[in-house]
Every structure is written in C-alpha cells, then in structure tokens.
C-alpha cells in the first residue's frame, strides 16, 4: 500500500506525510527534531506544520520557550476522508440542481445546430459512446440507424463490445440496412433496402434525438464522423426513417 498516494487524494502532500509519520513515531517533538527526522527543510517544516494544524492533523503545546508538536490519531485521517466525501456529494447535488441549470441559462438562445467533427478510431469510439449515453437518458431508450454493408466490419473496431453495452443498458435499435447482410442482435430490428447501383461507399447514420451522427470511411478505411445536435434536424430525420420503415 502506498500511503502517500492514498493521502494525496485528501490533499495531503508527500512532505506532510513524511512529517506526520515522523511525528507519529516520536510522540512529541520540536520543529528542529521533526525536520531532522522527516528530512525536510526546517522552514518548510514550520510552514507545513501550521497548515497541518489547521486541518487538525497535528496539534501543539508550549514547552519552555518552544512549541512541541504531536500527531493526531490516524483515525482523524478517516474523518477527513468522510468529510471530503460528504462535501463532494453536496457539491454534486448543487451542480446538478442549481449550478449547471444556471450556467446553461448563460448560453445564447439560438436554434442553430451544433456541429462536431470526429476522426479516427478514437473519435468514432466517442461517437458510439455518445449514442449510448444520450439514448439511455431518452424516454424511448431507442434510436434508428441507416447502415451500409461496406462499413459494418469497421464500425465497431474501436468499441468491440458496443452491442453488449447497448443490450446491458436495455437500449433498442431499428436498422435499415443498405445491402444484404448484418448480424441479428438482441433488442434490435432490421429491414433491408437494395443497393441497385451496387455502390461500395461506406456510410452509417444514427438518429438519436436531439442528435444525428454520420460516419463514413475515407481513403485507407480511415473513419470520420459528423454529429449534428438539432431538435429540428433529428426530428425530420426520424420522421423520414419511420416512414420508410413502415413501407419496407
């Protein structure tokens, strides 16, 4: 167990850990004795002891003309961790209920679509995760896709357990496949449309309101994606998808 790494999460720096451990082994000591034992500069030791005293990790009392310091019981560290955990929980609630809504009100009131561009396997993985995260929060917990035959073997290359994650989150999908093929999967429905021109161009369009993601392959099977966030566009895309779905 690395004590310093654990205590670092409580904002206790390495030299403070050295000082605390030195004090704990000495019982009570002067600044000079502590500095020598912990192998920390005396001036730095003095400043750190003042900080540690404010946090309740050490205490001091006069002894002659000097102050002697004592390390508090290690249980105090657990109390600090619990206090920090409660503080973070409170901050998270304030962020969700007050801060974030107030910050969102600062955004300009615009109906302009938000467009984000991604590329490479890393970018496609972000898009796929966004599809899951956004759909999971939706009322329907479902999304629609158009998928061409040529992109299928590359689409989930950066996220091979995508389908497993989708099913685990109880997310449904309807797919209109362009060209034959495609694997059956739980919580999914699939219909096909022909590719009369026998085009080899790869494309994948996911409609997950309020967003649409369009993924394609560039030269050398290099994937790129554009995500459009717009209620109007995603609604229109969904309407056209559902209309076509009923006709197939």
pLDDT, one tens digit per residue, over 28-59 is 888 999 999 999 988 998 999 999 899 888 99
What is the average pLDDT score of the chain?
Answer: 88
Same domain flag for 125 and 48 = no
For residues 46-74, give the mean pLDDT.
88
In DSSP notation, 98-156 reads IIHHHHHTTS----PPEEEEEEHHHHHHHHHHHHHHHHHTSSS-EEEEEEEGGGHHHHT
Dist CA 152 CA 146 (whole Å):
11
Same domain flag for 123 and 237 = yes
Domain carrying residue 22: 3-72
pLDDT of residue 164: 94
In a domain, residue 133? The reply is yes
Same domain flag for 140 and 239 = yes
What total of structural domains would you count in the chain? Answer: 2
For residues 117-134, give the mean pLDDT.
95
How many CB atoms lie under 10 A from the CB of residue 93? Answer: 11
In a domain, residue 85? The reply is no
pLDDT-derived band at 197, boundaries 50, 70, 90: low
Last residue of one domain, picked from the residues 44, 72, 100:
72
CA dihedral 108, 110, 112, 116 (to 10 degrees): 30
pLDDT-derived band at 97, boundaries 50, 70, 90: confident
In a domain, residue 241? The reply is yes
Same domain flag for 58 and 132 = no
Q: In 3D, which of 61, 2, 49 has the Cα closest to residue 22?
A: 49
Dist CA 101 CA 9 (whole Å):
29
Same domain flag for 152 and 51 = no
Mapping DSSP to helix (H, G, I), strand (E, B) and coil, where does residue 206 land? strand
Last residue of one domain, picked from the residues 72, 96, 127:
72
In a domain, residue 131? The reply is yes
Same domain flag for 122 and 241 = yes
Same domain flag for 120 and 232 = yes
pLDDT-derived band at 149, boundaries 50, 70, 90: confident
Residue 198 has pLDDT above 80, yes or no: no
Same domain flag for 144 and 53 = no
CATH number at residue 55: 1.10.10.10
Same domain flag for 67 and 182 = no
Higher pLDDT, 68 or 1: 68
Same domain flag for 238 and 121 = yes
Residue 167 has pLDDT above 90, yes or no: yes
């Amino acid at each position: 167990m690395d004590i310093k790494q654990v205590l670092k999460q409580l904002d206790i720096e390495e030299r403070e850990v050295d000082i605390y451990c030195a004090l704990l082994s000495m019982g009570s000591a002067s600044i000079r004795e502590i500095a020598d034992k912990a192998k920390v500069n005396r001036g730095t030791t003095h400043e750190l002891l003042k900080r540690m005293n404010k946090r309740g990790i050490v205490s001091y009392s006069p002894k002659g003309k000097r102050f002697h310091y004592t390390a508090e019981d290690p249980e105090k560290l657990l109390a600090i961790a619990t206090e920090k955990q409660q503080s973070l929980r409170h901050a998270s609630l304030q962020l969700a209920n007050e801060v974030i809504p107030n910050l969102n009100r600062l955004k300009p009131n615009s109906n302009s679509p938000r467009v984000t561009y991604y590329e490479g396997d890393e970018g496609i993985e972000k898009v796929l995760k966004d599809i899951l995260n956004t759909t999971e929060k939706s009322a329907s917990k479902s999304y629609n896709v158009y998928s061409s035959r040529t992109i299928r073997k590359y689409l989930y290359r950066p996220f091979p357990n995508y389908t497993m994650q989708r099913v685990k989150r109880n997310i449904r999908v309807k797919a209109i496949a362009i060209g034959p093929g495609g694997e059956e999967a739980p919580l999914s429905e699939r219909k096909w449309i022909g590719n009369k021109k026998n085009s080899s161009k790869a494309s994948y369009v996911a409609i997950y309101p309020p967003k649409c993601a369009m993924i394609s392959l560039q030269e050398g099977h290099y994937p790129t994606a554009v995500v459009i966030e717009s209620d109007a566009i995603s609604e229109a895309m969904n309407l056209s998808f559902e209309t076509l779905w009923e006709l197939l």
